[in-house]
Structure 1
Amino acid sequence: MKNAIETGPHTVTKRFPEGDRDRCEREWRALTLLAAHAPGLAPEPLELDAGAARPLIVMSRLPGVPLRGRPLDARQVAALATAVRQVHAAVPPNVLADVPERPGRPAELAAWIRTRAVPHVRPRVSGEVAGAVDAGLAWLDGADLDADAAPAFGPGDGNLANYLWDGTRVRVVDFEESGRSDRAFELAEITEHAAAWVEHPLEVAAFLGHCDLTAAEGVRLCACRRLLAFVWLLMLAADGAPGARNPPGTAERQAGRLAALLG
Structure 2
Amino acid sequence: MTVGRCTHSLDIRDDVVVKRYTSWARGEPRREWAALTLLAEHAPGLAPTPIEAALEAHPPMIVMSRLPGHVLRGEHATNEQIMAMAAALNRLHQIPAHAVEAVEPAAWGPAAAVDKTRAWADKQPDLGDDPLVREAFRAGAAWLASTDPDKLTSNPLPPVLGLADGNRANYLWSPDEGRVRLIDWEDSGRSDRAFELGEVCEHISRHDGALDAGQLLPHLDLAPGEAGRVRDFRRLIALGWFLQLGPDGPATPHNPAGTLQRQAERTLHLLA
Q: Do both proteins adopt the same fold according to a TM-score greater than 0.5, normalized to the shorter chain?
A: yes
Q: Give CA-to-partner distance per residue, 1:145-173, whole Å, 9 cap, x none.
A: 13423311112111111111112211110
RMSD, aligned CA:
2.1
**Residue aligned with 2:89, SS:** helix
Output the CA distance in 2 between the equivalents of 1:124 and 1:259: 15
Moved over 6 A (4+): none
Are 2:168 and 1:160 aligned?
yes
**Residue aligned with 1:33, SS:** helix
2:3 alignment counterpart: none
Report the residue type matching 2:48 in the other structure: P
1:107 alignment counterpart: 111
Higher helix share: 1
Equivalences for residues 187-198 of structure 1 within 5 A? 187-196=197-206, 198=207
Structure 1 vs Structure 2: percent identity of aligned residues?
41
Cα contact 2:16–2:63 (8 A) shared by 1: yes
2:186 alignment counterpart: 176
How has the CA–CA distance of structure 1 residues 10 and 230 changed in structure 2, closer, same or farther, with 3 Å as cutoff?
same
Q: State the shift of 1:79 in Å.
A: 0.6
Q: State the shift of 1:120 in Å.
A: 4.3
Cα contact 1:71–1:200 (8 A) shared by 2: yes
Which deviates further from its counterpart, 229-238 or 72-81? 229-238
**Residue aligned with 1:235, SS:** coil
Output the CA distance in 2 between the equivalents of 1:236 and 1:12: 34
1:222 alignment counterpart: 231
TM-score (norm 1): 0.91
How has the CA–CA distance of structure 1 residues 191 and 49 changed in structure 2, closer, same or farther, with 3 Å as cutoff?
same
Aligned partner of 1:207 among 216, 230, 245: 216
Aligned partner of 1:185 among 172, 181, 195: 195
TM-score (norm 2): 0.88
How has the CA–CA distance of structure 1 residues 239 and 166 changed in structure 2, closer, same or farther, with 3 Å as cutoff?
farther
Q: State the shift of 1:20 in Å.
A: 3.5
Which deviates further from its counterpart, 174-183 or 35-44? 174-183
Aligned partner of 1:83 among 82, 88, 91: 88
2:100 alignment counterpart: 96
Which deviates further from its counterpart, 117-126 or 173-182? 117-126
Output the CA distance in 2 between the equivalents of 1:193 and 1:244: 16
Report the residue type matching 1:182 in the other structure: D
2:53 alignment counterpart: 48
Cα contact 2:109–2:192 (8 A) shared by 1: no
Output the CA distance in 1 between the equivalents of 2:267 and 2:235: 7
Output the CA distance in 2 between the equivalents of 1:120 and 1:244: 20
1:58 alignment counterpart: 63
Output the CA distance in 2 between the equivalents of 1:31 and 1:17: 19
Output the CA distance in 2 between the equivalents of 1:77 and 1:53: 39
Q: State the shift of 1:124 in Å.
A: 5.1
**Residue aligned with 1:54, SS:** coil
Aligned partner of 2:125 among 122, 142, 163: 122
Q: How many residues align?
A: 260
Report the residue type matching 1:165 in the other structure: W
Output the CA distance in 2 between the equivalents of 1:13 and 1:121: 42
Q: State the shift of 1:49 in Å.
A: 1.3
Cα contact 1:156–1:176 (8 A) shared by 2: no
Q: Give CA-to-partner distance per residue, 1:36-66, whole Å, 9 cap, x none.
A: 1111110011111121222111111000111
Output the CA distance in 2 between the equivalents of 1:230 and 1:87: 26
Unpaired runs of at least 5, structure 1? none
1:11 alignment counterpart: 16
Output the CA distance in 2 between the equivalents of 1:62 and 1:239: 38
Report the residue type matching 2:231 in the other structure: C
Cα contact 2:127–2:133 (8 A) shared by 1: no
Unpaired runs of at least 5, structure 2? 1-5
How has the CA–CA distance of structure 1 residues 253 and 21 changed in structure 2, closer, same or farther, with 3 Å as cutoff?
closer
